[in-house]
Amino acid sequence: MGFVNSNTYREIFHQPEMWRQTYSIISERKEEISNFLSNYYNNDVTVVFTGAGTSSYVGNILQYLMAGYGITNYKSVATTDLTTHADTIFLKNKKYILVSLARSGNSPESIAAVDIADSICGDNISHIFITCNAEGALAKREPKSNVLSLILPDATNDKGLAMTSSFSSMLLMAMLVFDLNNVEENRAGVDKLSKKAEYMLNRYSEDIQKIAAIDFERAVFLGSGEKKGIAEECHLKLQELTDGKVICLFDSFLGFRHGPKAALNEKTLIIYLFADDEKTLKYEIDLVVQINQQIKPAGQIYVAERKIEQTEVKYDLEMVPETYENTKFDVILYVLVGQLLGLFKNVELKLDPDSPSASGKIARVVEGVTIY
């Protein structure tokens, strides 16, 4: 049980408290954030979410939520793409808000993305920095009127290699920023979200530890819409924390049919992140039934807001929150399955949860990148 003393274990399990603290930061700075958005956002402005690796997946989720916040122009572009192809992202005569998401704020591309965007856009760009490290290069940049710097609680600056509480807290903070008009009612939503997560972490950890002991060599995470971005994050968590010994894929349910399904075999664990709406769920269940008619996977898990009534398929784990009413933040809960699978498969493989990369192929902050 030495893994319970690891940073990674602690960082996964303290997420509910980090979310409450994240809400408090937004609540306390409501007026400042509101003034910034009033000054720099209108319907002619494009919001660009950017980050590297896990941080970029936050943007991939947010782009499915922005319309619900009344944001009309938006895109998600990784800093790793922006650094090499900024001139295809930014047009000199257009206005932008670049939302930089970063755990450390020290990745070379995080700084380069801001500098390159400024060089192309000049006065037509403003910035929101969402970072977990008050001492990072991004947070330490010279204050400017067109920059809103939001620092998450220090404990979200995960010490483990794999981003866990940093990911979920950055996602929540961005959701709260762009839903600022509802900041007071969102207090109750964040509290319900945190209680759901506490239940799920305590209720399902032992079950997921048992599934992690299954002999599987591949894992596939499937999600539709915003949950595809969660599937993307989950696939990286399991692959990082097992040092690549488990090869992982992600896709949408419908997209998976178009070729990627060839990766399935009897050594594959499949994780379904089911949709809340009935129409999308029908597409998803159809794929699950088809898969089970074609192969016998090593194991199958689903995560959903409620128990799925289905007789054709036997699941190894049904991961459903306790009965709390739904919140607009519930998509965040779905990442817990990837985090827990990564942690417990890491333990099963006798790796170090905080430093799983025995060869040093990957590091907490990416090294060796020269910006040209």
Level-2 CATH architecture, domain 2-178: 3-Layer(aba) Sandwich (3.40)
- Token match 């499949």: residue? 270
What was the pLDDT predicted at 137? 93
Could you please report the per-residue DSSP string of 42-88?
-TTEEEEEE-STHHHHHHHHHTTTGGGGT--SEEE--HHHHHHHHHH
Assigned token pair, 83: 């650094």
Task: Read off the pLDDT of residues 111-123 as tens digits, 9 standing for 90 and up.
Answer: 999 999 999 999 9
What was the pLDDT predicted at 372? 77
What was the pLDDT predicted at 312? 85
Parse the chain into domains and list their residue ranges: 2-178, 189-348
Assigned token pair, 149: 């710097």
DSSP code of 243?
T
Identify the segments of the chain with pLDDT beneath 50. none
CA distance 175 to 72: 15
What was the pLDDT predicted at 87? 94
- Determine how many CB atoms are found less than 10 A away from the CB of residue 8: 27
E strands present in the chain: 45-50, 74-76, 95-102, 125-131, 147-151, 218-223, 247-251, 268-273, 299-303, 317-319
Contact between residue 300 and residue 273 where contact means Cβ atoms under 8 Å apart = no
What was the pLDDT predicted at 349? 96
Contact between residue 242 and residue 356 where contact means Cβ atoms under 8 Å apart = yes
What was the pLDDT predicted at 360? 62
3-class secondary structure, 148? strand
3-class secondary structure, 307? coil
CA distance 249 to 333: 20
What was the pLDDT predicted at 359? 66
CA distance 279 to 199: 28
Q: Which helix (H) or strand (E) holds 368?
A: none
The closest of 1, 70, 3, 8 to 364, measured between CA atoms, is: 8
What was the pLDDT predicted at 46? 98
Task: Read off the pLDDT of residues 52-68 as tens digits, 9 standing for 90 and up.
Answer: 999 999 999 999 999 99
CA distance 329 to 193: 7
**CATH superfamily to which 189-348 belongs:** Glucose-6-phosphate isomerase like protein; domain 1 (3.40.50.10490)
What was the pLDDT predicted at 30? 98
Distances from the Cα of 25 to the Cα of 99, 170, 176, 195, 276, angstroms: 17, 12, 10, 19, 29
∠ Cα 164 58 322 (to 5°): 60
What was the pLDDT predicted at 1? 60
